[in-house]
Structure 1
Amino acid sequence: MTIEFQCGECGRTLRTADDKAGRRCKCPECGTILDVPAESAGESPGVYDAEEIPFVAGESGTPTDEDRRICPACGEEISVRATECRHCGEDLVGDASGRGRRKRSRGGWQPTVIDAGEVVSVAWERFKDQMGVAIGLIVVGGMVNMMASMPQNVLGQMLENGAVGRDMLPVVIVMQLGFVALGFVVQSWLSVGTAIAMLKISRGQAARIEDLFTGGPYLLRMMGNSIVFGLGMVIGLLLLVVPGILFVLTFWPFLYVLVDRDERGLDPLFLSREITSGNWGSIFLLCVISVVVNFLGLMCLCVGMLFTVPLTYLYFGVAYDMMTGGSGGSRSRRRSPDFDDE
């Protein structure tokens, strides 16, 4: 039996015998000191075998309680000397107040040309594994979003029906603008939480409905990036439609980049361009497939959309994971660091 695990710093997959569980080793790629986990993370190609992994002298056997602590982010047991949680990627070197703590990406950045058919196949398998959670995310998120938009809809109806006196019109308009802003904030917050959960499902990790409400740390950056994305899309559509479509195909993964890599400012948008290079055709095909699948769900008395909407969400979560070098598929082709096709 062997144990496979990834270096949290460079993403290199390592393999060793199961009797080395609990020992510390040094990654041959980047030199980071790692704990050998008790269980394998799964089979992967291109790994370092045990004889290539230098183990740290004096570190053998099962670690004692004094050598372990609990990750504040995911609750898993980790080494007291760990600078990053090997389970969730939480950065553990932030200051005492928690500021400066940042979740670093799990694994390296490996731009990959994807196959749309493979994405659909993997997404279907992931959906079957956690169908209840995926459907629950869409249902709960839709209900919360609907409640947040209710005041806006009520005021809008009052304005249309002339139920507001002329003297109260300025006040009602200001209130309406406030409710529109509130709706945008809530929708952005839920979008981040949905992306977090869907990305977990796309990677075969356990997701929970509670993940829907964990988007707070990313909210302001999500709002800023989505405003820029929306403006770019509108301008592109005004320029004879095609530029707008190309803009969407290029920058759509910004939300996944944000929650996966915790990038600052507008970096999620800038990095999206690197990810989608060479993948426009596959992404466009996924969009067409999503429209067809959701239309079929709509034809089933709308009930089918309870299944098709979360499934098509997963199409793009899986696509992002594969485009960044995830292990979801075997027909995807890695690209060189300068992002040119091989």
Structure 2
Amino acid sequence: MNHQGWGAPPDDKGATPFAYPEQPVGGFPGAAPGVPFGSEPGMPQPWNVTDSFAFAWNRIKADPGTIIGTMLLGYFISNLPSTIARFIPSDEPSDETSLIVTIVLALLGGLFSTFMMGGMTLFTLNVARGSFYRLNDIFQGGPFFLSILGANLLIGLGVMFGTMLLIVPGIIIALGLCLTTLIIVDRRCGAIEALQQSWRLMNGHKLNVFLWWLMAAVVSLVGILACCIGTIVTAPLLQIAFAFVYLKISGQTTADSVGA
């Protein structure tokens, strides 16, 4: 594949200490039959909001211990620096040492979450595809780290600029680029290429995905209202549901279509 864009993973995985293990040509661990790793998107498949959540719920019910446990560990590690920062004592608001430590931990938190985002996206894609998945997937974010970091910065700038003009352009930009991280992990491409592909794939799907966002907000609220315990299930549910949406939009098979 011709990689392009900021943070494109090097062709030589040996140069990357966090590189995912080499796989047979045309496949990734446990790939669903007929879905070669990094293949060109096929024709979009029909989907609706309720189907995505029903699908995710069924996947979690099939293996709750592994899926929920793995995702919870990923969330914990992602938020570890910010959690530590909350326990830093500061007697004076102007305490420079505490301020510096807090800033450093905030930066580390951003890097931690970016690294974990790649691995957790890989995990949820494997779950949604009906592929082999394992806890170790969430620690395989190395090859995607720079691409996701660059893409997040560019998306943030684009959404901020669009929102400064009017709120609606910012929402449209966010919708158009919302598949970027999934594309980076699925196709191992750079940030710029992933942004372009997301914008192209989202053509004709922005309204449905916006409705999905609204439903996701309701589901998240329900999880929070359930004494926050519900988020243990709703957080993984949302990620798997959105992986399902991506696979449908990009014309790939899902676990329900391969009998996984």
Q: How does the TM-score come out when normalised to structure 2?
A: 0.79
Code of the aligned partner of 1:124: W
Residue of structure 1 in register with 2:228 after alignment:
302
For 1:261, the equivalent position in structure 2 comes to 187
Determine if contact 1:193/1:211 at 8 Å carries over to the other structure.
Answer: yes
CA contact (8 A) 2:45 2:251 kept: no
- Provide closer, same or farther for how the CA distance between residues 87 and 194 of structure 1 changes in structure 2, counting only shifts above 3 A: closer
Uncovered stretches (5+) of structure 2, i.e. residues with no partner = 1-19
Q: Is the 8 A contact 2:85 2:102 kept in 1?
A: yes
1:127 to 51, 57, 60: 60
- Secondary structure at the aligned position of 1:206 is classed as coil
Cα pair 1:113 1:278 within 8 Å, conserved: no
Q: Are the aligned partners of 2:79 and 2:109 in contact in 1 as well (CA < 8 Å)?
A: no
Instruction: Report the TM-score when normalising by structure 1.
Output: 0.61
The verdict on how the C-alpha distance between 1:151 and 1:328 changes in structure 2, with shifts beyond 3 A counting, is: closer
Q: Which has the larger Rg?
A: 1
Higher strand proportion, which one?
A: 1
1:108 to 40, 44, 67: 40
* CA distance in 2 between partners of 1:86 and 1:179 (Å): 38
Within a 5 Å distance, the mapping from 1:204-215 to structure 2 comes to: 204-215=130-141
Contact 1:114–1:279 (Cα < 8 Å) also in 2: no
The residue correspondences of 1:147-162 to structure 2 (distance < 5 A) are: 147-154=80-87, 158=90, 161-162=91-92
Whole-angstrom CA distance in 2 between matches of 1:115 and 1:227:
30
Q: State the shift of 1:183 in Å.
A: 1.1
Structure 1 residues not aligned, in runs of 5+: 1-70, 79-83, 91-103, 331-342
Q: How does 1:171-320 map to 2 (within 5 A)?
A: 173-320=99-246
Change (3 A) 1:233 1:134: farther
How far apart, in 2, do the equivalents of 1:115 and 1:127 lie?
Answer: 19
Change (3 A) 1:212 1:127: same
Identity %: 24
Residues 120 and 151 of structure 1: is their aligned pair in 2 closer, same or farther, counting only changes over 3 Å?
Answer: closer
- 2:9 maps to which residue? none
RMSD of equivalent CA atoms: 2.8
Residue 260 of structure 1 deviates from its aligned partner by: 0.6
- 1:142-190 per-position Cα deviation (integer Å, ceiling 9, x unaligned): 22133222444345x62xx41655xxx3x55444433222111101011
CA contact (8 A) 2:163 2:171 kept: yes
The question of whether the paired residues in 2 share the 8 Å contact of 1:256 and 1:320 is answered with yes
Letter matched to residue 218 of structure 2? V
Q: Count how many residue pairs are aligned between Structure 1 and Structure 2.
A: 233
Normalized per residue, the structure richer in helix is: 2
